[in-house]
Chains A and B, each alone.
Chain A
Amino acid sequence: MTIFLATLLVAASIAIVLYPLWRHRGGGPRLDDPAVELRDRLRRARDRTYQEILALQQERFMQDLSDEEYRARLDELRLHAANLIRQQNRMQDTLAEIEDTLEDELHKRGAGDQDA
């Protein structure tokens, strides 16, 4: 029983470890796809900015800040959030354009092959 369990453990470990190498032997998924990374980073930066705006509103609520200080800081944060969203939108538009171009090219090549 002990030998069986030990053998099972060794076999399972080898299988778990080698599975990704076998599954993606032709090239694997881009875990750190720069586009995905940039999108996630922008999203995290935007979430942090929203959290800051919430915290700022909280401080204003508690009268820890004057109207002037609050307005100045809020404008700054809202501008920052707007910039982040614009960057995200630009990135998505660029990626969509690239995808459309790629599809067209593939479609043309596919049609060309059929003609040949």
Chain B
Amino acid sequence: MADLGTTSIIVALALTLYAGVTSFAGARQRNDVLVLSGQRATYASALALGIGVLALVVSFLQNDFSIRYVAEHSNLAMPRVYTWVAFYAGNAGSLLFVAFALAAVTSIAMARTPHGLGAQRPYANAVLMTILTFFVAVMLFMANPFVTLPTVPLDGQGINPLLTHPGMFIHPPMIMTGLIIIAIPFALGMGALLSGKIDDDWVDAGRVWGIVAWAMLGTGLLLGAWWAYTILGWGGYWAWDPVENAAFMPWLGLTAFIHSIMVQKRRGMFRMWNIVLINTSFALGAFGIFINRGGPVPSVHSFGASTLGWVFLLFLGVTVAVSFGLFFYRFARLRSRSRLESVLSREAAFLVNNLLLLAVAFVTLWGVVFPLISELVTGETITVGAPFYNKVNGPLLLALVFLMGVGPLLPWRHATSATIRRALAIPAALTGAVFVALLVLGVHNMIALVSFTVSSLVAASVLQEWVRGTIARRRVSGAAYPVAFAQLMATNRPRYGGYVAHLGIVMLAFGIIGSQFYNLERDIILSPGQQASIGDYEVEFIGSQSLPLADRTERTATLRVTRDGEFVRTIQAWQGFYPSFSMLSTRAAIYSTPKEDLYVMFSEVQPDGESAVFRLLVNPLVWWMWMAGPFVILGTVIALWPARQRASASVTTPVRGSPLPTGVG
């Protein structure tokens, strides 16, 4: 299998090189046979890398410890189901995953991109194949997962215990695939610049792939937060860790891109902005790869000691130089057809949206690189923690949420004061009512109060749009309200799908505000039979059990939860010690409700062998954070669902004064 795997990588390298060169040459020379051959080579590279993936998976399943990567990331005791996780647990395996994902996604993108894009398509393919050539070359020459050991060990080292969690089946592939898919709209933009056809034709395909990348990356980030919440034992979900930030920054860039590109689609504006945004998003993704694999900044996520840092730094430098070089080369031709007519317009709201999102991205970037800069300048490493990010990014993110509530209500081009009053009256009134209700309920922390209120403005705006639209629809069609609502969603899927995703973001905001400002925490030592109280809960420690296994020793603590004297549930907190990794892995006991989570983490057992240290937390509204994920995904699916093709109809030149249509077609 090692030989097959290495052969598949060598073949893939040859194919990607060929595909890149022939696609570029074919586009330059208008030689369509070369372009076709290059496209076929792209498909073949996906096949070759797919065979490499299969070879590695089979090696894991066969416990082929002659392959170093298999020996380092699995053992005989590892359940088969973790083979999927072990595959991308290490640097080399994850590079193979990334390369295969890029090849597969590129093949799909090129097969589905309209032929009518002309030379843009082969140029885009050339860009993607150049990126893929880089990854495959790095893998082959510096991180080959099929390197063999001189002597075959009897057993492997085993999988990192932190990865034996359900979240690890989805979180890393989502993050890696999301980062990779950014390359597609990036390449389409570069294709437009390279071909010189600086029009809006690439916008449709760019938007679709941008949204797919955004949804995957966002879901991956949320899954990572859930993983951290359940397994890392500190009761939190986001620590502004450098590698978390490395995926968060391109997500911010993509958020700006998928909104800004609607302005280009609708008004032919923001052409420069969209090239800058997609270039920045891709560059931030490349920076993320550097952070994750170069290891310049310590993180719980990074692949540890690695010699690949300078290679990925070089890749980042070349990416930025070439993409922005092309941008400036075509600068004059990127001028938009239309101008911003008013600051009170949806276009202006999108412009402010772009600026705020980039501001958050760059504040985060500054926090990530500051330790490196401080070491370089002063010789002393100064780390930047959560307080910096919360203080600076907090208000910016709040402003973004406010914009999410107000922006969709503004009309295109310009708004009159009457339009604004009509659009905002009801949401403002509802938001005011929420503000008063929160005060009555005892929410007196000013930041939490303002944050909840602003978030509820978004929900009120979406609700107004849906209610007004459904009533108007029903008036015309006579259908029942649920049917009218479904018809409304179908008439403008991008808009209403976006609203569903916005509701998901509001739920996320609620969870963050509740858990950040109103959480309770208590550390305590309990003996069996003893109880402790936190919030409305009483937690009684029943006892713990130890279970020695082949590769670990497990310990489970059972606790009985009551609230106001009534029995609620029995919960179990777990920990496992892995001697081969000298690592303790934990799982919190979580009793979750929409109102709050009771969170219990089991820590050290005391010398008496009976009592143990527990961390007890009550985290309000965290449940809503995890519910946000399905809403964001649902909103994305609705937004991307293809519209029915309209039957072609003749359009006659309208006569001024002719009657207006009475309904939506």
A residues neighboring B (CB under 8 Å)? 2-3, 5-6, 9-10, 12-13, 16-21, 24, 27-32, 36-37, 39-41, 43-44, 48, 50, 52, 54-55, 57-65, 67, 70-71, 74-75, 78-79, 81-82, 85
8 A Cβ contacts from B409-463 to A: 411-412, 419, 422-423
The answer for the CA separation of A113 and B32 in the assembled complex, in Å, is 33
- Which residue of chain A has the shortest Cβ distance to B199 in the bound complex? A41
Complex interface residues of chain B between 615 and 657 (CB less than 8 A to chain A):
646, 650-654, 656
Closest Cβ neighbor of A10 among chain B residues: B11
Contact, CB under 8 Å: A17 / B654:
no
On whether A2 and B4 interact (CB within 8 A), knowing A54-B491, A78-B654, the answer reads yes
Is the pair B116, A82 in contact by a Cβ cutoff of 8 Å?
Answer: no
Question: In the bound complex, how far is the Cα of B649 from the Cα of A82, in angstroms?
Answer: 11
Interface size class for chain B? 35 or more
Distance of A21 Cα from B200 Cα, bound (Å): 32
Q: Which among A13, A19, A62, A67 has the highest number of chain B CB atoms within 10 Å?
A: A13
Question: Across the interface, do A17 and B44 meet the contact criterion of CB distance under 8 Å?
Answer: yes
Give the contacting residue for B665; candidates A5, A57, A60; CB below 8 A: A57
- Is A85 within 8 A of B651, CB to CB? yes
Q: Which of B15, B48, B652, B664 contacts A82 (CB 8 A)?
A: B652
B18 to chain A: closest residue by CB: A17
Tell me, in angstroms, the Cα distance from A67 to B472 when the chains sit together.
Answer: 16
Q: List 13 A-B contacts (CB under 8 A).
A: A20-B36, A20-B40, A29-B32, A36-B115, A37-B118, A41-B116, A54-B491, A57-B661, A64-B419, A74-B654, A78-B653, A82-B652, A85-B651
A27-B663 Cα distance, complex, nearest whole Å:
52
B310-340 interface code vs A (CB 8 A; 1 in, 0 out): 0000000000000000000000000000000
Give the residues in chain A near B32, CB-CB below 8 Å.
Answer: 28-32
Expressed in whole angstroms, the minimum distance between the Cβ of A35 and any Cβ of chain B is 11
Does B664 lie within 8 Å of A61, measured CB to CB?
yes
* A36-B465 in contact given A54-B665, A58-B664, A71-B660 (Cβ < 8 Å): no
Does A61 contact B411, Cβ atoms closer than 8 Å? no
Determine which residue in B15, B116, B119, B422 has the highest number of CB atoms from chain A within 10 A of its CB, and name it.
Answer: B116
B18:A20 contact, CB within 8 angstroms: no
B265 touches A58 (CB 8 A): no
**CB neighbours of A6 from chain B (8 A):** 3-4, 7-8
**Given A70-B660, A78-B651, do A32 and B33 touch, yes or no (CB 8 Å)?**
no
Q: How far, in Å, is A36 (CB) from chain B's closest CB? A: 7
Q: Indicate if B167 sits at the interface (CB-CB under 8 A).
A: no
Whether A28 contacts B33 in the complex (CB less than 8 A), given A54-B664, A64-B419, A81-B651, comes out as yes
Residues in A whose Cβ lies below 8 Å from that of B469: 58, 61-62
- Contact surface of B with A, Cβ cutoff 8 Å: 1, 3-4, 7-8, 11, 14-15, 18, 30, 32-33, 35-37, 40-41, 43-44, 47-48, 51, 114-116, 118-119, 200-201, 204, 265-266, 411-412, 419, 422-423, 465, 468-469, 472-473, 491-492, 495, 646, 650-654, 656, 660-661, 663-665
Interface contact A36-B116, CB-CB below 8 Å: yes
Do B8 and A17 have beta carbons less than 8 Å apart?
no
B40 touches A17 (CB 8 A): yes
Contact of A58 among B37, B118, B491, B653 (CB under 8 A): B491
Q: Chain B binding site: helix, strand, loop or mixed by DSSP?
A: helix
- In the assembly, what is the distance between CA of A83 and CA of B644, in Å? 24
Q: Decide: B116 and A9 in contact? CB cutoff 8 A.
A: no
* Residues of chain B contacted by A54 (CB below 8 angstroms): 491-492, 664-665
Known: A5-B51, A6-B8, A57-B661. 13 other contacts (CB 8 A): A9-B47, A16-B41, A19-B37, A32-B30, A32-B115, A37-B118, A40-B115, A40-B116, A44-B114, A48-B200, A58-B495, A61-B472, A62-B468
Provide the residues of chain B in CB contact with A21, threshold 8 Å: 33, 37
Asked whether, in the complex, the Cβ of B119 is within 8 Å of the Cβ of A32, the reply is yes
Please state if A28 and B36 are interface contacts (CB–CB under 8 Å): yes
Cβ-closest chain A residue relative to B1 = A2
Q: What is the bound-complex CA distance between A79 and B8, given in angstroms?
A: 56
Residues of A within 8 Å of B30, CB to CB, are: 32
Which residues of B lie under 8 Å from residue A50 when comparing CB positions?
A: 646
Q: Which A residues touch B665, using CB under 8 A?
A: 54, 57
A19 to B40, CA, bound (A): 9
A44 CA / B115 CA spacing, docked (Å): 12
Distance (Å) between the CB of B197 and the closest chain A CB?
9
- Asked if A13 and B15 make an inter-chain contact with CB atoms under 8 angstroms apart, the answer reads yes
Whether B204 and A82, one on each chain, are in contact in the complex, defined by CB atoms closer than 8 angstroms, is no
| B83 CB → nearest A CB, Å | 20
Among A3, A9, A39, A79, which residue has its beta carbon within 8 angstroms of that of B51?
A9
Within the complex, which residue of A2, A27, A59 is in contact with B411, where a contact is CB–CB below 8 Å? A59
Closest to B118 in A: A32
Cβ of A91 to closest chain B Cβ, rounded Å: 14
Given contacts A24-B36, A37-B118, A57-B665, contact A13 B654 (CB under 8 A): no
A75 pairs with B654, CB closer than 8 A: yes
Chain B residues with Cβ below 8 Å from A17 are 15, 18, 37, 40-41, 44
Q: Pick the 3 closest A-B CB pairs, nearest first.
A: A40-B116, A28-B33, A20-B36
Query: Which partner residue on chain A sits nearest B265 by CB separation?
Result: A48
